[in-house]
Amino acid sequence: DAGITQSPRHKVTETGTPVTLRCHQTENHRYMYWYRQDPGHGLRLIHYSYGVKDTDKGEVSDGYSVSRSKTEDFLLTLESATSSQTSVYFCAITDPLRDYGYTFGSGTRLTVV
Amino acid sequence: GDSVTQMEGPVTLSEEAFLTINCTYTATGYPSLFWYVQYPGEGLQLLLKATKADDKGSNKGFEATYRKETTSFHLEKGSVQVSDSAVYFCALSGGASGTYKYIFGTGTRLKVLA
């Protein structure tokens, strides 16, 4: 959707390789989030950020790290990809000063072989 | 901790049928409640929300009422269309997890047949 983009949209990688997913927003929102979506689990929070260089862990953070050096970019890194990290990854943003509700990116489908 | 429970899918209906997708929650405090919709190959979109007890959220013919006494936020639509076929997620924020972290249900797939 306009205002938030994820890249790449699709990626296939090998077990043990590092992978970085990018979320870019043009809305100047303070809060950014990374979720993974898996059948039977819905969406689970990996990491989130509440400002530049301010990040925190979600419920499934093991094996993932994040960085936010600019307001507009939030990077998710799989340090050493495993098959259990095959998933669809969504980035979301929100600005609680305006209204409740996330705006989601279109997702990245990651396959680890 | 906070949690959201949705009815198992898939739900299959004929066009113009009445839709109910059940959602119940467990949370401390006074969470806000949401329904999101996901069409194939896309991210989630906010469908409607309610921020306090007895509020009714509505959008595109869908409605849900925040019922604190039954800790529920069931999604309803009087007459579904084929274009409503999607996955629907119930979510909450503002409970023990904090105001800006959402807890999502597992999603309910709706299939509407012409």
Q: Could you read off the pLDDT of A86-110 as tens digits, one per residue?
A: 999 999 998 876 666 789 999 999 9
Query: Using an 8 Å Cβ cutoff, are B80 and B108 in contact?
Result: no
* B45 and chain A in contact, CB less than 8 A: yes
Across the interface, whether the CB atoms of B105 and A42 are under 8 A apart is answered: yes
Query: What residues in B contact A103, CB-CB < 8 Å?
Result: 46
**What DSSP state is assigned to residue B51?**
-
Give the per-residue pLDDT at A98. 64
User: Is B103:B3 a contact under the CB 8 Å cutoff?
Assistant: yes
pLDDT of residue B98 exceeding 70: no
The pLDDT > 90 percentage for chain A reads 83
Buried b (16+ CB within 10 A) or exposed e, A58-84: bebbeebbbebeeebebbbbbeebeee
Decide if pLDDT at B24 tops 70: yes
The pLDDT tens digits of the residues spanning A29-48 come to 999 999 999 988 889 999 99
Q: Does B49 touch chain A (CB under 8 A)?
A: yes
- Which residues on B lie below 8 Å from A106 (Cβ)? 41-43
* Across B83-101, average pLDDT: 83
Predicted local distance difference test score (pLDDT) of residue B94: 76
Q: How many CA atoms lie within 13 A of A79 on its CB side?
A: 7
CB atoms within 10 A of CB B85: 17
Q: B53-68 pLDDT, tens per residue? A: 999 999 999 999 999 9
B19 pLDDT band, cuts 50/70/90, is very high
Cβ contact, residue pair A107, B32, below 8 Å = no
